[in-house]
Structure 1
């Protein structure tokens, strides 16, 4: 599928605060130096006519720090989480970008949707949207999930297995005394095509719209937004002189903290049973 990718460029940049590999580290997203909400101010579409979406990089390829958008903090910066649960709860929709280029935390990529995977168990479904960066060398050849199987044989199966096993691993660690981990061993992963994936994206986007407009109670989610890029007249639009905005620290890039060798490891997937 041909894309006019040269006209699709990201206008967002990260604002780094504190030392990477620490729980104080924050990555805000900004536009022309002004902070935006990672959750609420980045438009769903980069180019709606061509079906090109925006996605935010939380965990780049080949890294293992669990970086995730903060639901609770104003403007929803990306931060490192102390533990990971197997399933999300009111989080933004998870996206897995399969291109060759390694991104960086806080990068806003322009992507095309290829399909979706569902981690299924008896409690709920955890969606993982499969996309490719429109600038990737394979982007013109990938239009749907079947194209991934054709041009990248084995990738979807390996990704399925990775998500299934890593979900089990983290649930086992965080719920060691909880009998739910036994059922997680039987968690399955199913995949669906681009059409179905797009329907899920719009369904989740509609749920977000109810949240940001005040139709749904936010609970503990911060719905502060600054530039009304995506929603006009939202109930928590924050002006530049508001303390919530002025309290966002300026950029302060620091040397990354050392990583404990006990967690800086590679794990390889095999066919052995868990």
Structure 2
């Protein structure tokens, strides 16, 4: 009887999980379904939940010169921001976790305090700073703001990963003749690979999807992908081409999916790359 009851509960929770998964995936399916339908079918009074007349016309309308320029801009800004943020956060996290120095606690408190400042409160000062440095409406200026935006949380996230690796592993390697630097990069660094990947994912998502900072510091003819996608829904005196908007949403999501597929393998490899032989 207990086995029967346990099996019934398992099936019940399985059904609940499937129902929640369907609710979660339906918006994704609806965007993809709308991107593959003609505009007449999407504007019909009765929605079509199953695609009948599939075509790629919406993707052809969405992919234009402005899309390609926005894609290059977003990729450039995002990759620069991810590389700079992860590198700076890694150095700061190691310093906070492995060394005891004057002002260490104050630095940690400052990192947490910066996270509490609303981004909107910094728009005017950021705009004036970039304008004075001749970085307004440039890849370098926007990348600098993105690094500053994601760095505090990335430092805090990586600090937890560094604290999770026992310092005794490095000390044992130093007893065997390794220098402090070699012991860190041979023993500790491979174990931090999942943390670096997780921090990179966070920085990538923040920079790729960011909208407000790009609105402030970029001109209308130099737009990132979120601004380009927003521009498709603000066409004056014309009906909005919703299939093209949904196709654009799919195109914006594709690099994120590819990035996750790449880092998923790297993260799995990083979990075992720092194994210590006994």
TM-score (normalised: structure 2): 0.24
The TM-score, its normalising length taken from structure 1, stands at 0.24
Q: More strand by proportion, 1 or 2?
A: 1
More helix by share: 2
State the structure with bigger RCO (CA 8 A, min sep 6), 1 or 2: 2
Rg larger in structure? 2
